[in-house]
Structures are given as C-alpha cells and as structure tokens.
C-alpha cells in the first residue's frame, strides 16, 4: 500500500507503517494524519496482520505537529480539526487489535512522542532525543501527552518534560521506562522486526484479549475494553446463534445458555 506522506509494507503477518516526510523530520500535518487514519482502517481489517511496526523515514521518528500546519489556525479550527481529530486518531492507534511496536529511528518530540506512546512496545536508537516541548511554544500537549503518557510513563516524568522542558536521551528514557529497549543507530528496524516476529508466533486472539485486559488494568479504557470483551464472549455463545436464527425465522428464541 502506498499513500502520500506514509508508506505501508506488509511482510507476512507484520505490517510496517512508515512516516514519509523526512525533509520535515516526519512532522505531522493534517494530510499525514488523514493518511494514517486510512492506513489504520486497512490494517485493522486485514486478518492476516498480527503485529504493526510504526517508524519514520530519514533521521527522525517524528518531530511532532507541524507548526506550519497548525500555527495559523483559528482557535475553533485548531480545537476541532487539529486537536480533536488527532486525539481520535491516536486513540485508534492505541486500541488497535494487534500489538503495535514503535521503532524510534530518531527523535520523538511533542506529538511524535505522543504517537510513540500509543504503541505497546517502544524501541529507540541510541541517538534519539525524547521530549514534550509544547510549553516552549505557549502550547500544551494535545494528543494525550498529559493523559495516556501519564498512565504509561508516570505523572512525574511527564511533569519533568512538560513543565521543566527536560529532554531525554534514549538511555535516560530507558531508565525512566519511556522506552523498552535501545539499539545502535541504524538497527532499529532489524530489532523491531525480530521482536515482531516473536510476537507474531503467539495466538492472535489471546494477544487481542490480553491488550483489552491490560487496558482495563491500567485504567486507560475501561468502558470500551469491557464492552469489547463482553461482545466477543457473547458472539461465541450458542445463544447468539439462536437469537439471530429466531429473528430471521420470526419465531421466539429458545435460549439454552450454551457457552
């Protein structure tokens, strides 16, 4: 699959989604966000895909939101078309049915770190810098930097990035639990592919259900996760099959309580 600003490659059970704006350090504009949304739709519905790797082209994972894209927006347009759309997209990425690995080939700043924060596993190259510099622009993190990242990294480390403007090296990020592993420059895709290959050998249903259970445990997505788990369970029962058959036949259902 190919689309402006992104590239999606399928390698067996592994999908690789690459941000393709190397001249802009893979900064995110509306066209990129929309392309990501369409790509996630395709990946989510492809039953053959069991793992998703997210990475960037060139020297950066992502420098975050493209200031040229949002800097001139009117407040209402900024809130609705930029912040809320991005928020929905990042929520979609964070709740993909399959495990997501962020292969951080370089700097992940602002929205770029929020994007990586949606992944289940983060692997960073040693030279990568990581931070949330929005307040230096008079802005706040708007794509779950103060919400999801607090759940996943801890409130104090996010305070240090948002309030204190601290920038972390990959080694510091590893020590603080922001990334799960580091590797040498130029090797992140090799490392991520190896990790993804290991994940892809595991039961896809068990992986999907485990992600939902972990979301409940972390307090990130209780309502959606519980309803998804309940719906999956109900869909497997004999009662559902009987209910649908009775509806089609216009007769009363004879439920047996079969699991």
- Can you list the alpha helix ranges (DSSP code H) found in 101-154? 111-117, 148-153
**Residue 184 falls in the annotated catalytic set:** no
Start-end of H helices in 46-147: 67-70, 75-77, 85-94, 111-117
Please state, in angstroms and rounded to a whole number, the distance separating the CA atoms of residues 111 and 108: 8
Asked if residue 49 lies in contact with residue 99, where contact means CB atoms within 8 angstroms, the answer is no
Can you point out the beta strands (E) in 126-203? 129-131, 168-169, 181-183
Which residue is catalytic, options 125, 134, 208, 220?
A: 134
Burial class (CB in 10 A: 0-12, 13-18, 19+), 85: middle
**Under 8 Å between Cβ of 60 and 25:** yes
What is the DSSP code (8-state) at residue 79? I
By three-state DSSP, how is residue 60 classified?
strand
Separation between Cα atoms, residue 148 and residue 204, nearest integer Å: 24
Sheet holding 51-56, edge to edge: 2-3, 6-11, 14-19, 51-56, 100-104, 121-125, 181-183
Q: Is 114 a catalytic residue?
A: yes
| Options 114, 125, 208, 220, the catalytic residue | 114
Distance CA 199, CA 15 (A): 13
Catalytic residues: 114, 134
């Amino acid at each position: 699959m190919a689309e402006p600003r992104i590239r999606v490659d399928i390698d067996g059970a592994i999908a690789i989604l690459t941000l393709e704006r190397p001249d802009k350090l893979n900064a995110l504009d509306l066209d990129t966000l929309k392309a990501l949304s369409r790509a996630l739709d395709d990946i989510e519905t492809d039953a053959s895909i069991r793992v998703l790797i997210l990475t960037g082209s060139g020297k950066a994972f992502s420098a975050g939101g493209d200031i040229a894209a949002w800097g001139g927006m009117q407040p209402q347009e900024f809130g609705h078309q930029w912040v809320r759309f991005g928020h929905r997209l990042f929520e979609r990425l964070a709740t993909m049915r399959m495990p997501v690995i962020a292969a951080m080939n370089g700097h992940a700043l602002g929205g770029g770190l929020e994007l990586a924060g949606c992944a289940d596993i983060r692997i960073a190259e040693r030279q990568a810098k990581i931070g949330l510099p929005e307040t230096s622009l008079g802005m706040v993190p708007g794509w779950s930097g103060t919400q999801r990242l607090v759940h996943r990294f801890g409130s104090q480390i996010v305070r240090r990035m948002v309030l204190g403007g601290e920038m972390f090296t990959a080694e510091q990020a590893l020590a603080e639990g922001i990334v799960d592993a580091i590797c040498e420059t130029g090797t992140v895709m090799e490392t991520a592919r190896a990790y993804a290959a290991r994940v892809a050998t595991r039961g896809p249903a068990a992986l999907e259900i485990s992600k939902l259970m972990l979301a409940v445990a972390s307090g990130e997505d209780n309502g959606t996760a519980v309803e998804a788990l309940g719906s999956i369970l109900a869909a497997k029962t004999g009662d559902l099959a009987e209910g649908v058959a009775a509806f089609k036949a216009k007769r009363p259902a004879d439920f047996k309580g079969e699991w």
